[in-house]
């Protein structure tokens, strides 16, 4: 990772993912969380931002199944994270057609490799609250 990226919001986010943590930012002026990582808060333009760590639990807000020729189908979902922000990801360890709106999910960090940065995916959370 370049020095510039290490100092950027994306770099901080990736460093948390490498530790298995789903990090997000909060505007300390409004106490409102937001995602994706940025240098200024989206609604206020404020630079008063702090990082927090999510418990990694959420609810499927919307879902669709993508079919690529010659590959198994995969799920794409919008997840409402319990801390108050929404993110796009996918739900794994379940048939893509069985992912349902309202399903509880928990984060699992895919470690990536030398060509791909780590990234969060979700799995069914069962009875998680």
User: Could you tell me if residue 129 is inside a domain?
Assistant: no
In a domain, 15, yes or no: yes
- CATH code, domain carrying 94: 2.40.50.840
Question: Is residue 49 included in any domain, yes or no?
Answer: yes
**Number of folded domains in the chain?**
1
Question: Domain containing 80: what range?
Answer: 3-124
Residue 75 lies in a domain: yes
Q: Is residue 74 part of a domain?
A: yes
Residue 9 lies in a domain: yes
pLDDT of 14-25, one tens digit each?
999 999 999 999
* Structure tokens, 121: 């995916």
Instruction: Judge contact between 78 and 61, C-beta under 8 A.
Output: yes
- CA-closest candidate to residue 25, choices 83, 109, 111: 83
Tens digits of per-residue pLDDT, 59-86?
999 999 999 999 999 999 999 999 999 9
Residues 107, 43 contacting (CB under 8 angstroms): no
**Global confidence as pTM:** 0.86
């Amino acid at each position: 990772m370049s020095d510039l990226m290490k100092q950027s919001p994306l770099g901080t986010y990736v460093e948390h993912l490498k530790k298995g943590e789903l990090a997000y930012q909060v505007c300390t002026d409004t106490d409102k969380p937001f995602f994706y990582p940025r240098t200024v808060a989206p609604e206020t333009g404020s630079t008063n931002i702090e990082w927090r760590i999510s418990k990694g639990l959420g609810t499927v807000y919307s879902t669709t199944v993508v079919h690529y020729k010659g590959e198994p189908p995969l799920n794409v979902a919008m997840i409402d994270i319990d801390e108050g922000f929404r993110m796009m990801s996918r739900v794994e360890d379940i048939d893509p057609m069985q992912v349902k709106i309202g399903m509880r999910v928990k984060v699992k960090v895919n470690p990536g490799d030398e060509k791909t940065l780590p990234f969060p995916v979700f799995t069914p959370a069962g009875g998680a609250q």
